[in-house]
Structure 1
Amino acid sequence: MGTDINGFVECRAWRLHEDGEESVWHAAIDLFLLNITRNYDAFGCLFGIRNYAGFRPLAAERGLPPDASDGVRAELARWSDQVFGTTWITWAELKATDWTEPAEDTDSRLHQYRRTADGLEYVGKSMWSRQFAEAVGLPEQEMGKARTWPEGSEWHIGDTVYRSERMSRREAVEDGGEWEPVWTVMEALASQHGDDNVRLVVWFDN
């Protein structure tokens, strides 16, 4: 069963409140219209969900903001008890992020490459490979369990190379990748209302 992301970009538009009243948050745009890609590296890096790569999450388990917009509250209520990992992050925090920062630990999934005439070709990564397990003597009961290996460890098995690697934030959230539309909208709103007045509120479901 996979994990999906849901949420809204919210904006606190200071020009819209009445004199003498505090400004309120508005649900600006549904995340569904910008990015609902199931990318566990990004989920882990940003929010600590499915954090197989061992990142220090930017904004994990903060819960629903106490001043969340009516639109966000209404949408979240529709999900009842199906959701988990509700949290939020401001554009100011995202702008201040060092995207070159490495994960705190090596990826619990081995990165797999195939030998070709032109060199190594990246295949993918997973927590379990029967070929790898048999070659290094891992018992089958270890299947599906998160496990890390010393960084740089490498195994050559047939035409396949398995490596233990440490990811960077930029590898998890690629520049110009699927999160770019979200950042573009948040940046545009922040240019009008301020970096601290734009935030992303998210929750997850299986």
Structure 2
Amino acid sequence: MKLTVFGATGGIGREVVRQALDAGHEVTAVVRDPARFTVTGERLEVFRADLTDPEALRGAVAGRHAVLSGLGARNRAVAATGIAARLTRPVLSAMDAEGVRRLLVVSAAPLGPVPPGQGVADRAVLAIVNSVLKDVYADLRVMERELAASATDWTSVRPPKLTNKPVTGRYRTVVGGNPPRGRSLARADVAHAMLAMIDDPSTVKQGVGVAY
């Protein structure tokens, strides 16, 4: 497949690019600063662009089978600017202009429903996390509303706490919900899950919880 990856210099984006190349896909990695991008490969195109300009992004998505995005805030201060929603809008516009429909993005588990049977301790931790990271989740909620209003065949992948452990390929997914007692997931396995969902029709126009 021909894939485009936004947020390719981030932890999840880099993993998406690496794993996609290893799987034999052709990958376009969209970056603002190529000097920060160290992944190489024969089937890799590094596309430098202003991420706020839909016209500048059209060449990055034209003719692609799917677009995968790891765009989002890396800290609370950046989240307060609404960066995930703000940078996803030009991607949606570029995809619409080029007739590209499949889009997978990274969101977060707290945007999904609380799983049945979730323990009191887990609920308490979730309440604390929601309070501390409220700006991050508010930004992601706006992004998800705009996905739902778009013409794309979107999937919002919602992991819990992220780690830098190696890929395992062993995790749980719940379409429209969250795995019970799902407390963490490696960025590498988030990337693995996103790539696995590209051709899964059950995930289209859905939030999907993913966790160990």
Which TM-score tier does this pair reach, normalised by the shorter chain? under 0.3
Q: Which structure has greater strand proportion? A: 1
Structure whose CA Rg is larger: 1
Give the TM-score taking structure 1 as reference length.
0.24
Higher helix content, 1 or 2: 2
